[in-house]
Structures are given as C-alpha cells and as structure tokens.
Structure 1
Amino acid sequence: MSKSKKKEFQPNEFVVYPAHGVGKIVSVETQEVAGFELEMFVIAFEKDKMTLRVPTHKATEVGMRALSTPDVVSHAMKTLRGKAKVKKAMWSRRAQEYEQKINSGDLIAIAEVVRDLHRADDQREQSYSERQLYEAALERLTREIAAVAGNDEKAAAEEIGSVLVGRAA
C-alpha cells in the first residue's frame, strides 16, 4: 500500500463507529504496539467524554463508516413514520434484537428501534429496559441526523419528535 493512497477517513471528519455512534476524527497518529508501528485514527466522542483509537487498516473492517447521506437520513425518517412492528417474542429476545440493531451502526436499523419502541403519552408504560433501549437508539439517531444536517442536536431532536408525534395522529 503506497503512502500516497488517500485514506478513506480524514481528520476533522465525523464518522460513525457502530458501538458508539457519531464521533469526530481528531487526528491520525502512529503508535508502537508490540514492536510494530501502527497508524491509528484518534476519534473523540465528545458527548461521552471518550476517545477511541482505531488502527487505520482495521477501520472499515470494524464497521466504521462515513456519516449517512441525506438520502439515507430521509429513508430513516420515512422508517420512523411507519407503523411500529411489535413482535410477539419474549422481551429478552426482542431486547437482544434491538440492541444488535443499535450497535450495528446502521441508521435505518436504529430508526426501526426508535419507531418500534416509541410510546405516545396515552400508550402503556415502558419498562425500564425498554426505555433504556429507546433512549439509546434515539440518541444515536439524533446525533447522526444533526451531524449530517450540520445543525445542532436540538433541531434534529425536534424534527424526529414531530415525525413520531405526527405518526400517532
């Protein structure tokens, strides 16, 4: 691999890391690991006050990706408008599926979780674990939509909220 090859990801770019959501590449650094020089992306997840180092050659392999395109975002919003699909499986099984979708880093899958776990005010109470999964999915969705639109999370949250409320009507 030649040094001149453009890297897929650049510093100051937002990326999505499946298990953590939207982060920003702050730099590319070289570290010595077990006697080998290893080039790493340094990714900051400001909201979580966390920094992650990902070997540059492993980035796509671990599922790191660029932000979704506006097309994918509008598909995710369309997904939110859909009717919630509630499976009759036991909660532990469904919870596992929801968690996999959230950690897949796939915006559409995350939107499905938000859609399926969203409760209108007049609907039955959510269990603690349902609410945890819902909030995790909602946060991932909100952060990525905000990053794609280049606006703040408050605006993205309002947009998502109005879609969810409008759906119930």
Structure 2
Amino acid sequence: MSKAKKSEFRPNDYVVYPAHGVGQIVSIEKQEVAGFELELFVISFEKDKMTLRVPTNRATEIGMRGLSSPDVVSQAMKTLKGKAKVKRAMWSRRAQEYEQKINSGDLIAIAEVVRDLHRSDDQREQSYSERQLYEAALERLTREMAAVAGGDEITAAKQLDEVLLSRAA
C-alpha cells in the first residue's frame, strides 16, 4: 500500500477504529487548535452514541482502516472453526492479551478471542470478565461482518452463531 493520502477515507465510508470498532465517517471538518488549522474526520459510532474526531493526517498512524476485505472475513471465519488455544497463563495475563487483540482492530485477532472464549451450553461457566471480553470481541466481529456484507447485524450474528455451534458439535 502506498503512503496514506488524505483522500483515502471519505464521508459516508465505514471505517474501523482500533479501540472502538466500526464507525462511519460523517464529515471532514477543519478546526483551529492552538493556532494551527487541523483537518478532522468526524466519525460516528451510532451503536455507542459516540462521535470521534480524528486528525486526517494521523488516522492511518492511529490504526484506522477501511473495512476488511471479504477474504479477511472468510479467514476470520476459518479462524473461528479452529480449536481453541488457551494458554496456561494466569487469567489476568490472558485477559490482558485478549483485550489487546480486541483493541488491535485486527479482525483475525478478534476472531481468535471469540474462538478461545466461546463456550457451548454444556461447558463450564464463564467468569464475568471472560464473558465481557467474549461479548466485546463477538460484537466487533459481528459489526464488521455486517458492514462488509452490507447487511444487518442480526444476519451476521446468525452466521457467526452457526459457525460456533457447528464447531462445538
């Protein structure tokens, strides 16, 4: 990929912001900050009722990216079908790693978290923090899949469910 041009992202584009997941660029605005004029992407995260302003010249550096390609999505689905890899490290250490993966904005890493923390009904209970991380990862995965497919989250959630259930069988 070439160096990021200002025109890489446009209003109405869906983008993935590492710490927050899928959002939509509402506009590009100019603001004066400390005597400098800054150009900012105004990104709306509707589900979270949040708006973020990101300097256009720092977007790529921060890790903001366009939606994953269908190839990456199918790679993530393949990852989900794999066997859970759970390290024998202490939970606090693993939780930290899972959180880093979720906030990396990397769809494959997020799929790994979903795969590793997924429990079928007959498996042992999940702790509260395990459940929180699992749900956060699942939500990120679902939202991006829905955005890539141009569909709704309910359809994407059903697809993910089927993959996870077929794995448990």
Cα distance in structure 1, aligned partners of 2:6 and 2:60: 14
- AA aligned to 1:56 is T
SS across alignment from 1:158: helix
Cα distance in structure 2, aligned partners of 1:38 and 1:26: 17
Equivalent residue, structure 1, for 2:10: 10
SS across alignment from 2:111: helix
What is the RMSD computed on CA atoms of the aligned residues? 0.7
State the TM-score, normalizing by the size of structure 2.
0.97
| 1:1-169 correspondence runs (5 A) | 7-169=7-169
Q: Could you list the runs of 5+ residues in structure 1 that have no partner in the other structure?
A: none
Cα distance in structure 2, aligned partners of 1:56 and 1:66: 14
- AA aligned to 1:99 is E
SS across alignment from 1:52: strand
**Is the contact made by 2:68 and 2:148 (CA closer than 8 Å) also made in structure 1?**
yes
SS across alignment from 1:61: helix
- AA aligned to 2:84 is A
Deviations 1:45-76 (A, max 9, x none): 00000000000000000000000000000000
State the TM-score, normalizing by the size of structure 1.
0.97
Deviation (angstroms), 1:161: 0.3
Deviations 1:126-150 (A, max 9, x none): 0000000000000000000000000
Deviation (angstroms), 1:6: 5.5
- AA aligned to 2:161 is G
SS across alignment from 1:148: helix
Cα distance in structure 2, aligned partners of 1:48 and 1:146: 16
Cα distance in structure 2, aligned partners of 1:133 and 1:48: 17
Q: Could you list the runs of 5+ residues in structure 2 that have no partner in the other structure?
A: none
Report the count of equivalent residues: 165
Deviation (angstroms), 1:7: 1.0
- Over 3 Å counting, the alpha-carbon distance change for 1:36 and 1:126 in structure 2 is same
Aligned-pair identity in percent equals: 82
SS across alignment from 1:54: strand
SS across alignment from 1:60: helix
Cα distance in structure 2, aligned partners of 1:77 and 1:33: 43
Cα distance in structure 1, aligned partners of 2:8 and 2:53: 16
